[in-house]
């Protein structure tokens, strides 16, 4: 019977330990992971990984099974022939053979169909060791592992289950990168025999098999990558079209629709998108229609109010002159009512003017009439016309020129300074500076500041911070009109609270607004605008 030794049959292959990864390598790996965000790349990578895992697993299992089958078949045939030769040749030798008898028996045993080398060891009549070797140069006792020699020469106890005192043992070894099978057996009362068979042909066959499996794995990996690319294209092309359509929809092209084909999930998604786009288009159309109707109503109402307001204003001016006259022709009992009518008429007139200005902005007909303006002179003229000289501190150097629309700049300044005086109190500080090609004007008051919940809404139309005072002198349109005039110039207004107390409004305008005047100005637009500081409460 044959028994393998209880030790590794094959020589293990040493593998270098993984090199430690430094901080730089870890950082590169993290950046590479962050860049790996393409869905197409992820799909291809997943397909390739699955295919690689499956191919490597299948190739590994196939190689292992074939390797064991080839080696086991060769091993069993060689050991069976060697055992048979030991029984036929070595067992018939005398107890103390001569060196010639051992050599002759070894040569006969080596003529087996398995082509292995044979080494026979015995003792002569004088007790000396004699050796018979079929291939003295290729196989000596030094080629036999010590553990194998010890196992072969160890006599076993005869039992019911063990009928033989000596057994056949074998072991696979490697010499000069060539695999060998070494077997050994002892004849009871006779010589000890060893055989050495080269497994190089089998190793070559297994290497060829490994190369074939490796090529098959590579082809499977390439095929999986191509299939993944095709699958990704099939899946991602509708997704890409959906993304393009969503982007066009976000740009305002509400008539965007997707072509729907098939009944799969992507087709259902396209139908859902088309339904949502159609619903959005209808809603936006309805909102635009209502918004246009509202603007038209405000414009028509403003125009219709101007005619009776002109007559009422003329009458209130006469009444105001009578109140200021020294003759005292107005009855003192009705004087408060007359003064109320005069103030409310003036307020209504300002509101109508503001509404008309707002309709121009909504209609997109607001145009700039540019002129070279000395900013310091412009601000001085604004506050002087409204008798604010004593309440406003101006920090501006003369000679700071800008090409802007003087009327619209006056409207902006009047609203910002008037709002600061009304809600922050004097003194109001106005400072002017330049930042590159921008003109920056800060209007700061020394009041309590603007509540945090009000800051996001100070430029909203008709917004008033205090709901308990709906009837204030302002219309709630002043800051909104100021912002619109800043936008027409290509500028911006921001509101904030100063760390030292009080509110700060910052106006930023380009020093030259000429690039914005691409169309001829509309003279009809430049009627006298609202000079009232539209207050946001």
Among residues 212, 235, 181, 233, the alpha carbon closest in space to that of 73 is found at 181
Best mean pLDDT range from 2-16, 196-210, 297-311: 196-210
pLDDT over threshold 80, residue 302 = no
pLDDT over threshold 50, residue 19 = no
In the chain, % of residues over pLDDT 90? 14
**Cα(81)–Cα(506) distance, rounded to whole angstroms?**
104
């859902």: which residue's tokens? 272
With a CB cutoff of 8 Å and minimum separation 6, the contacts of 77 are: 114
pLDDT over threshold 80, residue 33 = no
**Cα(110)–Cα(133) distance, rounded to whole angstroms?**
9
**Whether 535 contacts 423, CB under 8 Å:** yes
Other CB atoms within 10 A of residue 160 CB: 5
pLDDT at 243: 85
**Sequence-ordered alpha helix ranges (H) in 262-334:** 265-324
Dihedral class, residue 375 (left if φ above 0, else alpha if ψ from -120 to 50, else beta): alpha
pLDDT at 472: 47
Q: How confident is the model at residue 393 (pLDDT cuts 50, 70, 90)?
A: very high
With a CB cutoff of 8 Å and minimum separation 6, the contacts of 162 are: 156
Rounded to the nearest angstrom, the gap between the alpha carbon of residue 491 and the centroid of all alpha carbons in its chain is 34
Q: The tokens of 492 are what?
A: 């911006």
pLDDT at 113: 80
**Cis link prior to 500 (omega < 30° from 0)?**
no
Q: The tokens of 127 are what?
A: 């007790």
Among residues 503, 389, 484, 495, the alpha carbon closest in space to that of 446 is found at 503
pLDDT at 430: 94
Q: How confident is the model at residue 339 (pLDDT cuts 50, 70, 90)?
A: confident
**Cα(481)–Cα(357) distance, rounded to whole angstroms?**
8
pLDDT over threshold 90, residue 431 = yes
Among residues 117, 109, 243, 226, the alpha carbon closest in space to that of 180 is found at 117
Q: The tokens of 458 are what?
A: 């100070």
pLDDT at 310: 77
With a CB cutoff of 8 Å and minimum separation 6, the contacts of 243 are: none
Among residues 215, 177, 180, the alpha carbon closest in space to that of 13 is found at 177
């918004």: which residue's tokens? 291
Best mean pLDDT range from 134-138, 210-214, 340-344, 429-433: 429-433
**Whether 406 contacts 372, CB under 8 Å:** no
pLDDT over threshold 60, residue 219 = yes
**Cα(131)–Cα(115) distance, rounded to whole angstroms?**
20
**Whether 488 contacts 368, CB under 8 Å:** yes
Q: How confident is the model at residue 12 (pLDDT cuts 50, 70, 90)?
A: very low
- Class of the CATH domain delimited by 366-525: alpha beta
Least-confidence region, from 63-72, 115-124, 196-205, 318-327: 318-327
Query: Which residues, in sequence order, are bridge partners of residue 132?
Result: 120
For the chain, the average pLDDT equals 79
pLDDT over threshold 90, residue 439 = yes
pLDDT digits (tens, 9 = 90+) for 369-386: 899 999 999 999 999 998
């030259």: which residue's tokens? 512
pLDDT digits (tens, 9 = 90+) for 261-270: 877 787 888 8
**Whether 508 contacts 447, CB under 8 Å:** no
- Residues belonging to the chain: 537
pLDDT at 537: 30
In the chain, % of residues over pLDDT 70? 81
**Cα(212)–Cα(233) distance, rounded to whole angstroms?**
31
Other CB atoms within 10 A of residue 328 CB: 10
- Answer with the residue of higher pLDDT: 14 or 173: 173
pLDDT at 34: 38
pLDDT digits (tens, 9 = 90+) for 399-410: 899 999 999 899
Residue boundaries of the structural domains of the chain? 2-9+36-216, 254-365, 366-525
Bridge-based pairing state of the strands 117-123 and 129-133: antiparallel
DSSP structure string for 65-130: HHHHHHHHHHHHHHHHHHHHHIIIIITTS-SS--HHHHHHHHHHHHTSTT--EEEEEEE-TTS-EE
Q: How confident is the model at residue 506 (pLDDT cuts 50, 70, 90)?
A: very high
Confidence (pTM): 0.45
Candidates 3.40.640.10, 1.10.287.130, 1.10.3720.10, 1.10.1420.10; correct CATH number of 254-365? Answer: 1.10.287.130
């022709």: which residue's tokens? 329
pLDDT over threshold 50, residue 110 = yes
**Whether 479 contacts 537, CB under 8 Å:** no
**Cα(5)–Cα(497) distance, rounded to whole angstroms?**
90
């Amino acid at each position: 019977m044959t028994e393998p030794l209880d030790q590794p049959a094959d020589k293990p292959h040493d593998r270098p330990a993984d090199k430690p990864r430094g901080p730089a390598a870890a950082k590169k790996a993290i950046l590479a992971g962050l860049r790996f965000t393409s869905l197409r790349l992820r799909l291809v990578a997943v397909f390739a990984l699955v295919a690689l895992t499956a191919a490597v697993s299948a190739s590994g299992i196939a190689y292992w099974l074939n390797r064991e089958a080839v080696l086991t078949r060769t091993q069993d045939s060689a050991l069976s022939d060697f055992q048979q030769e030991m029984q036929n040749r070595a067992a018939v030798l005398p107890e103390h053979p001569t060196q010639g008898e051992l050599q002759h028996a070894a040569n006969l045993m080596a003529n087996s169909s398995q082509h292995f080398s044979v080494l026979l060891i015995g003792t002569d009549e004088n007790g000396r060791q004699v050796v018979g070797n079929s291939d003295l140069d290729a196989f000596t006792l030094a080629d036999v592992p010590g553990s194998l020699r010890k196992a072969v020469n160890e006599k076993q106890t005869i039992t019911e289950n063990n009928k033989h005192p000596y057994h056949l043992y074998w072991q696979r070894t490697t010499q000069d990168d060539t695999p060998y099978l070494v077997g050994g057996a002892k004849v009871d009362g006779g010589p000890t025999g060893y055989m050495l068979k080269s497994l190089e042909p089998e190793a070559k066959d297994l290497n060829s098999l490994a190369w074939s499996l490796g090529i098959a794995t590579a082809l499977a990996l390439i095929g999986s990558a191509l299939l993944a690319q095709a699958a990704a294209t099939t899946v991602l092309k509708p997704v890409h079209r959906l993304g393009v359509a969503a982007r066009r929809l976000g740009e305002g092209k509400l008539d965007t629709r997707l072509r729907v084909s098939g009944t799969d999930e992507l087709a259902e998604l396209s139908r859902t998108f088309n339904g949502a786009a159609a619903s959005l288009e209808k809603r936006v159309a309805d909102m635009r229609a209502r918004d246009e109707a509202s603007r038209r109503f405000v414009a028509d109402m403003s125009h219709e109010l101007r005619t009776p307001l002109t007559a009422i204003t003329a009458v209130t001016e006469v009444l105001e002159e009578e109140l200021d006259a020294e003759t005292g022709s107005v009855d003192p009992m009705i004087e408060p009512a007359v003064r109320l009518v005069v103030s409310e008429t003036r307020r209504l007139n300002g509101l109508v003017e503001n509404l008309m200005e707002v309709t121009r902005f909504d209609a997109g007909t607001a145009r700039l009439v540019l002129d070279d303006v000395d900013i310091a002179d412009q601000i001085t003229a604004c506050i002087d016309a409204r008798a604010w000289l004593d309440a406003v501190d101006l920090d501006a150097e003369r000679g700071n020129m800008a090409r802007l629309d003087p009327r619209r700049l006056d409207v902006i300044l009047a609203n910002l300074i008037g709002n600061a005086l009304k809600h922050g109190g004097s003194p109001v500080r106005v400072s002017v500076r330049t930042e590159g090609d921008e003109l920056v004007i800060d209007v700061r008051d020394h009041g309590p500041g603007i509540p945090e919940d009000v800051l996001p809404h100070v430029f909203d139309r008709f917004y008033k911070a205090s709901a308990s005072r709906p009837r204030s002198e302002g219309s709630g349109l002043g800051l909104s009109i100021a912002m619109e005039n800043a936008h027409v110039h290509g500028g911006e207004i921001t509101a904030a609270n100063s760390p030292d107390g009080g509110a700060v409004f910052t106006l930023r305008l380009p020093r030259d607004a000429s690039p914005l005047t691409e169309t001829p100005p509309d003279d009809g637009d430049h009627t006298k605008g609202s000079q009232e500081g539209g207050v946001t409460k």
